[in-house]
Amino acid sequence: MKSLGERASGLRLERMRASPRWAGDGFRNMHPIRPGLRDTSVRAPSLSEFLCGGGRRVPSRGLPAVDPRQRWRDVPDSGLRATWLGHSTVLIEIEGLRLLTDPVWGPRASPSRLAGPKRFQPVPVALRSLPPIDAVLLSHDHYDHLDYPTIRELVRLDVPFVTSLGVGAHLEAWGVPAQRITELDWWESHTLAKAEVTVTAAPSQHFSGRALKDRNATLWSSLVIRSARHTVFFSGDTGLTSEYETIRTRFGPFDLVMLEVGAFHPSWGDIHLGPEHALEALALLGGGPFLPIHWGTFSLAIHDWDQPPETLLSLAPKAGAQLLMPRLGEPVQPAHGHLLTPWWREVDAPRPQQSAAPPVAQAGDSKLPKAMPWPFD
Q: Quote the distance between the C-alpha of residue 332 and its chain's center.
A: 17
Mean pLDDT value across residues 93-114: 95
Supply the range of the domain harboring residue 89: 2-19+64-346
User: Quick one: pLDDT at residue 346?
Assistant: 93
Q: Is residue 366 part of a domain?
A: no
User: Quick one: pLDDT at residue 50?
Assistant: 65
Q: Is residue 141 part of a domain?
A: yes
Pick the closest to residue 188 from 154, 164, 160 (CA basis). Answer: 164
pTM recorded for the entire structure: 0.91
- The answer to whether residue 373 scores a pLDDT higher than 70 is no
- The answer to whether residue 51 scores a pLDDT higher than 70 is no
98 within 8 A of 337, measured Cβ to Cβ: no
Q: 188-235 pLDDT, tens per residue?
A: 999 997 778 999 999 999 999 999 899 999 999 999 999 999 999 999
- The answer to whether residue 371 scores a pLDDT higher than 80 is no
The confidence band for 52, taking pLDDT boundaries of 50, 70 and 90, is low
C-alpha distance across the termini of the chain, in Å: 19
Q: Cα(358)–Cα(366) distance, rounded to whole angstroms?
A: 13
The confidence band for 47, taking pLDDT boundaries of 50, 70 and 90, is low
The confidence band for 376, taking pLDDT boundaries of 50, 70 and 90, is very low
Q: Is residue 369 part of a domain?
A: no
Q: Is residue 26 part of a domain?
A: no
User: Quick one: pLDDT at residue 352?
Assistant: 62
CATH number reported for the structural domain that contains residue 280 in this entry:
3.60.15.10
85 within 8 A of 185, measured Cβ to Cβ: no
User: Quick one: pLDDT at residue 55?
Assistant: 75
236-240, 345-349, 363-367: which range is least confident on average?
363-367
How confident is the prediction for the chain on average, in pLDDT? 90
Q: 328-339 pLDDT, tens per residue?
A: 999 999 999 888
User: Quick one: pLDDT at residue 33?
Assistant: 85
**Amino acid sitting at position 226:** R
Q: Is residue 119 part of a domain?
A: yes
Q: 242-270 pLDDT, tens per residue?
A: 999 999 999 999 999 999 999 988 888 89
User: Quick one: pLDDT at residue 32?
Assistant: 86
Q: Is residue 167 part of a domain?
A: yes
Tally of domains in the chain: 1
Q: Cα(149)–Cα(305) distance, rounded to whole angstroms?
A: 25
Q: Which residue has the higher pLDDT, 376 or 15?
A: 15
Q: 72-101 pLDDT, tens per residue?
A: 999 999 999 999 999 999 999 999 999 999
Q: Is residue 40 part of a domain?
A: no
- The answer to whether residue 126 scores a pLDDT higher than 60 is yes
User: Quick one: pLDDT at residue 281?
Assistant: 98
**Length of the chain as a residue count:** 377
The confidence band for 369, taking pLDDT boundaries of 50, 70 and 90, is very low
Q: Is residue 359 part of a domain?
A: no
Residues of the chain with pLDDT > 90: what percent?
79
- The answer to whether residue 367 scores a pLDDT higher than 80 is no
